[in-house]
Structure 1
Amino acid sequence: MANARLYFIHALAPLHPGTGQGTGVIDLPIAREKATGIPYLPGSSVKGSLRDSGLVSDTKRFFGPDVTAADEHAGAAQFADARLLLLPMRSLRGTFAWVTSPYLLRRASRDAAGLQADLPADIPTPGNHQQALLSGTALRYQNKQVILEDLDLVGSASREAQAWATWIGKHAFAEEPERQLLNERLCVVHDDVLSFLLTTATEVFARIRLQPDQKTVAEGALWYEEALPAETLLVGLILAQKIGSYTPSDVFTELKKLNGRSFQFGGKATVGRGICRLQVAGGGQ
């Protein structure tokens, strides 16, 4: 795909891409795809945070004009949703695992097609619900056991998983220690297992509001918020188009100013949610 780049968002704090009031037990759930239930961060949220940063020189042509003049032209940079790639999960060994599934890797591969991204040739695919394919040995317990949350899986070394850990680390992390951490902790589980974990392994916070004088909980002021855990990794596409004399090359030059910096995405900023690092990978023209 010409004139495009992959971008990665690494959550340094819990991330709350909210959808407003929920109808279930969780009052403020995170955004999920309708068909798959997979969490994502809307591209509009990414665009808005980057625009507010003030780091881009020509804000109007890069992001588009203000809403009062929205009919003048579109922005040169187009931000697709950032979709889940790696979900951090408690592990009995190795502290935590970066968990993914064949479907998540296949979608990332599809997005990166045509970007000259040197993708791994094969998708690691567990043979059954009990198997976990590992990039390293940090997660293995006794007798090849891998214990994630409450799941007891059988770990197997996988060259394909190692290849993906290397590729993701190369493009998503700028520092070698983080790349090495991923090389030791990538875990590929069955798609059905991931679907289960997506309903049990997100963070849920109980929040209250105190009465200012008594310092007791105000009536009805208890609610629950959901968030993606710190260390979550999401991936999306940034597309560039020519706007007047402003070319895709100008877009990618501006993106270099944003690369590797920390931004706040999603809601609940005043209580520390959503601090993330942005990494833009090469590719395209």
Structure 2
Amino acid sequence: MFKKAKPFFIYTETPTHVGSGSELGYVDLPIQREKHSNFPKIEASGLKGSFRSVFNSDPQLKDKVKYVFGPEDGNDHAGGLGFLDGRILLFPIKSVKGIFGWVTCPYVISRFKEEMSLCEGVSLEKLDGIETITPNSIVENSSLKLEDNDVVILEEYSFKVQKNDRLRKFSAWLSDIIFPKLQNSSGDVYRIFREKMQKDIVVLSDDDFRDFTDMSTEVITRTKINAEKGTVEDGALFNEEYIPENTIFYSLALASALFVDEKEKESIKKINKTEEDFILDYFFSGIGKHDIIQIGGNTTIGKGIVRIVTPEGGNDNA
């Protein structure tokens, strides 16, 4: 039984293919989707496998992987760390103005708030009222609106929109988490994206959001070339679906007990803290060192590069 949960976000830096196998439709290799809503998702098993690979590659973290993620031989004992599926929060859509905007819907943001309530220490005051944001809501100073007109055109579809102050507050809160103030020699690294997210989130109806996430993913035709002839091999032409870059998912890291005897537990933890706190501290401190990871297929062609974003302290700013 899981005793404690903390949230994290997944920001796709490059198009990402977390596949569900082959199908007979137009797309030969589709992405994973929720059965009931058809929204894109990332299976918890895929997340866990990707994280485990990262932690295994770090000499300072590797020795505790079998206790937290579980041993290679599953018959020995269970791991103490689990995850929810990566759930969609914001999906990027091409816009006539402002290049692109992030879309979401009442169902998605209501579910997000509900699942944040499972996390200890999450301040729900910062999410107060987001479930009441109505479809076709936008921030007042959005760069997506046509001049002198409360209309937004996404892909080839136009939407009559109205400003919503609750959406403005939610956008400001989320943008500070996804694009934190990080300085380098050139200045604020994420400033442009943070300012864009503050004003370019659009809440659509549940049905419109479902249609965009169904029809506006990237579908790429790939081939295999015959090395001797320099031509496409017979039967080697296929279509592959990708979640576009700039998509935002979220998940929860779930901690339970360590499934080893008491003596071994004390040698693992070394300091006086609960088992669930030890597990979550281990995970979040480790992912803080390795926030850029690869998820899904096509590693060698630069796909599936994502940034893991954790609210400061694991959940204090959530």
TM-score higher than 0.5: yes
1:85 counterpart (83, 89, 100)? 89
1:227 counterpart (223, 242, 261)? 242
1:200 aligned onto 2:215:
yes
User: Take 1:181 and 1:252, find their aligned partners in 2: how far apart are those partners?
Assistant: 32
Residue equivalent to 2:187: none
Report how far residue 2 of structure 1 moved: 5.3
Report how far residue 135 of structure 1 moved: 6.2
1:64 aligned onto 2:64:
no
Secondary structure (helix, strand or coil) at the match of 1:209 reads: coil
Q: Is the 8 A contact 1:135 1:165 kept in 2?
A: no
Report how far residue 71 of structure 1 moved: 1.8
1:283 aligned onto 2:315:
yes
User: Take 1:236 and 1:136, find their aligned partners in 2: how far apart are those partners?
Assistant: 30
CA deviation map 1:70-111 (0-9, x unaligned): 122211211111011100110111111011111110111111
1:165 counterpart (171, 174, 177)? 171
Report how far residue 114 of structure 1 moved: 4.2
The aligned runs of 1:37-116 (5 Å cut-off) are 37-53=38-54, 54-55=57-58, 56-57=61-62, 58-66=64-72, 69-115=73-119, 116=121
CA 1:223–1:269 in 2, change beyond 3 Å: closer, same or farther?
A: same
Residue equivalent to 1:155: 161
User: Take 1:156 and 1:25, find their aligned partners in 2: how far apart are those partners?
Assistant: 37
Identity of aligned residues (%): 29
Residue equivalent to 1:140: 145
Report how far residue 211 of structure 1 moved: 1.3
User: Take 2:122 and 2:141, find their aligned partners in 1: how far apart are those partners?
Assistant: 23
5+ long unaligned stretches in structure 1: none
Report how far residue 283 of structure 1 moved: 3.4
- Matched residue count: 279
Secondary structure (helix, strand or coil) at the match of 2:167 reads: helix
CA RMSD after TM alignment: 1.9
Q: Is the 8 A contact 1:16 1:228 kept in 2?
A: yes
Residue equivalent to 2:272: none
Q: Is the 8 A contact 2:14 2:305 kept in 1?
A: yes
Report how far residue 126 of structure 1 moved: 3.0
Report how far residue 117 of structure 1 moved: 2.2
Residue equivalent to 2:128: 121
Secondary structure (helix, strand or coil) at the match of 1:210 reads: coil
Q: Is the 8 A contact 2:137 2:164 kept in 1?
A: no
Residue equivalent to 2:280: 252
Q: Is the 8 A contact 2:139 2:164 kept in 1?
A: yes
258-267 vs 100-109, greater mean Cα deviation = 258-267
1:242 aligned onto 2:271:
no
Report how far residue 124 of structure 1 moved: 4.6
User: Take 1:135 and 1:113, find their aligned partners in 2: how far apart are those partners?
Assistant: 29
User: Take 1:182 and 1:266, find their aligned partners in 2: how far apart are those partners?
Assistant: 26
Secondary structure (helix, strand or coil) at the match of 1:221 reads: coil
Q: Is the 8 A contact 1:12 1:275 kept in 2?
A: yes
User: Take 1:19 and 1:218, find their aligned partners in 2: how far apart are those partners?
Assistant: 24
5+ long unaligned stretches in structure 2: 182-189, 270-274
- Greater gyration radius: 2
User: Take 2:66 and 2:214, find their aligned partners in 1: how far apart are those partners?
Assistant: 40
Q: Is the 8 A contact 2:133 2:164 kept in 1?
A: no
Residue equivalent to 2:8: 7
Secondary structure (helix, strand or coil) at the match of 1:98 reads: strand
Report how far residue 251 of structure 1 moved: 1.8
CA 1:163–1:124 in 2, change beyond 3 Å: closer, same or farther?
A: farther
